[in-house]
Amino acid sequence: MTEQHAHRFERGTDGPKVIVVGVDGSDSSLRAAAYAGGLARRQHALLAVVYVQPVMSAGAAVGAPVAEVTDEIAEDLVAQIREATERTKGIFDVRWEFHTFRGDPYGGLVKAADDLKADAVVVGASEQAGHRIVGSVAIRLVKAGRWPVTVVP
**Which residues, other chains included, contact 69 with Cβ-Cβ below 8 Å and sequence gap of 6+?**
none
Q: Strand, helix or coil at 74?
A: helix
Q: Quick one: which H or E segment has residue 108?
A: helix 105-115
Give the DSSP letter of residue 89: T
Q: At what angle do helices 137-144 and 105-115 cross, to 10 degrees?
A: 40
pLDDT tens per residue, range 54-109: 776 554 555 555 556 667 777 777 777 667 666 655 556 788 888 888 888 899 99
Q: In order of start, what are the domains of the chain with their CATH numbers? A: 18-151 (3.40.50.620)
Give the dihedral sign, CA 132/51/81/93: positive
Count the residues in the chain.
153
* pLDDT 10s digits, 99-145: 888 888 899 999 999 999 999 999 998 776 544 544 588 889 989 88
